[in-house]
Amino acid sequence: MEEMVAFMNYRIIPSAPLNCSSTTTTKETPKDEEDKVLQSGIDGILQRLADMRRDMSKLKSELAPFRHKYPYEKVLTSSEEREKRLKFRQEYEKMDNKEKARREMEFDVSDFEGYCQGLTSLVEHFEFMTLVSPMHFTHCTPRQMPHHLATYGTTLQILSFKIANIDLDLKWPLLEWPLKVYGVVAARDNVDRRRNILFLRERGNFQEITQDKPFLSLTGPTRAILAKDPVNLEVQLKLKGPTEPEDRVLITKRCQYSGYHTDNGLYALTLKNCLCTTELSLQQLYRQSVQATFLRVGGFVKGSTTPFIHGGRVACSSPPDEVLVMDSQGIVTEVIDRPSTQVVLLNSHDCDGGNMPIGEEDGYLDLSRHVVSVELKPVRQYSEELEETLKVVIQAYSESGDIAAQAHVKLRPQYCGISQHICDLNGSEVEITIAWSAILRSNKVIP
């Protein structure tokens, strides 16, 4: 403030004639009149500067009473800063592992709270969830698509989230297999900056994580994640104790995904603290893509009994990632899908009792996840026809839990609309109904 007032006290003397936009001179204007015009322009500027000096002085006097309430922070010299860091390091080394862990957890929570406060101004409330529909443009026709609102940009495919490791030696309360985990894992893109939920469970609906099955049962995203700009990823997981006050924080982290170019777009994002290590597996679709919403899977057009008596699994991948098994003569004998690149829509092993959630009246499956991103790849250059870039795999388990039957169908994506398909699984025809839609650029453009 003082520097600003001092700067305004300087008298500005122009080194060249100033031309006032409100008054002009011509060649016919007498010299005396021209000087008057220039002087009036200079006087006007000087008067405005004087007014600004007066306003700044007035503001300074009004703020003076509050100066003692908000003192300026002391600026440490480089030597003081080094000494302060050295002292903290010495104190930290004397702490035991539990105290170090407690300090680290407190820092993570404090960092996350600051991040929350910074985002609140953008989204009104930090915990607001995205309300943008994955079927926003399903009702359109390709030639009527509002391209100023819709995009087919690069997207993120969320594959899995697992608790990769826990520190059993730390003897932290509740930190032992199996883990009773609840909380939230979410992503934010620039469509609306709100939470796009990947995993969400309340305390009373915790998920039990074992060392053999360390994956969270994801339910999202609820719409495609646009990866044109950096994507924020948030993890807030807790461990359920005997009572709520005895619950413990497992991990509180946030990070930003800015795009990591790999050969197949696959990337494992690692988040860790002193208690555990987590891995979020994702895939970036670098080509144009649309979002597909699985409306119905099941129905069983043909077949007297359901093939999922002992459970089953529904998964998909885009683009299909297949391994061809050949014999000695180079003939393909088997096509194997890579599970690491599949989006699991439903797995009865993750359901209560291992039972397949299926409607008794209509026979449709109650999927855990519904929305996936699908790559758009023309059959040839400048062609409007698209390749079959979405592969849906359906498996039926045996009583022992092994795969008793398996079938797949490859689908050609659409820019919009609804499509229906049939997959023959061991004599039973399974219906698949999908809604296709482009991606909304930003919810701010909607009136």
Residues 365 and 259 in one domain: no
Residue 183's nearest CA partner among 163, 210, 156, 168 is 163
Structure tokens at 56: 């700044």
| pLDDT tens digits, 152-180 | 999 999 999 999 999 998 889 999 999 99
Residue 290, CA atoms < 13 Å, CB-side half-sphere: 24
User: Quick one: pLDDT at residue 312?
Assistant: 95
Residue 5 reports pLDDT greater than 50: no
Strands (E), 131-226: 150-151, 155-166, 179-188, 196-201, 207-209, 225-226
List the single range of 70-84, 239-253, 427-441 with lowest mean pLDDT: 70-84
- Across 56-178, the runs of DSSP E, i.e. the strands, are 150-151, 155-166
If asked whether residues 47 and 100 sit together in one domain, one would say: no
Q: Which of 286, 313, 338 is the last residue of a domain?
A: 286
Q: Which of 66, 94, 114 is the last residue of a domain?
A: 66
Residues 366 and 414 in one domain: yes
Rounded average pLDDT over 19-47: 59
Q: Are residues 228 and 308 in the same domain?
A: no
* Domain range for 364: 289-443
**250-294, pLDDT tens digit by residue?**
999 999 998 877 777 899 999 999 999 999 999 999 999 999 999
Looking at the fold, whether 119 and 247 belong to one and the same domain comes out as yes
Residue 166 domain flag: yes
Condensed to tens digits (0 to 9), the pLDDT of residues 118-131 reads 888 777 788 899 99
Reported as type and span, the H/E element at residue 90 is helix 78-94
Residue 30, number of CB atoms within 10 A of its CB = 9
- Positive or negative torsion for Cα 257, 262, 267, 270: negative
Residues 410 and 324 reside in one and the same domain: yes
- The residue with greater pLDDT, 23 or 85, is 85
Q: What does the DSSP 8-state code read for residue 18? A: P
How far is Cα 365 from Cα 237, in angstroms, rounded to an integer? 29
For residues 338 and 256, membership in a common domain is answered with: no
Q: How many domains does the chain have?
A: 3
Q: Is 145 part of a structural domain of the chain? A: no
| Residue 235: inside a domain | yes
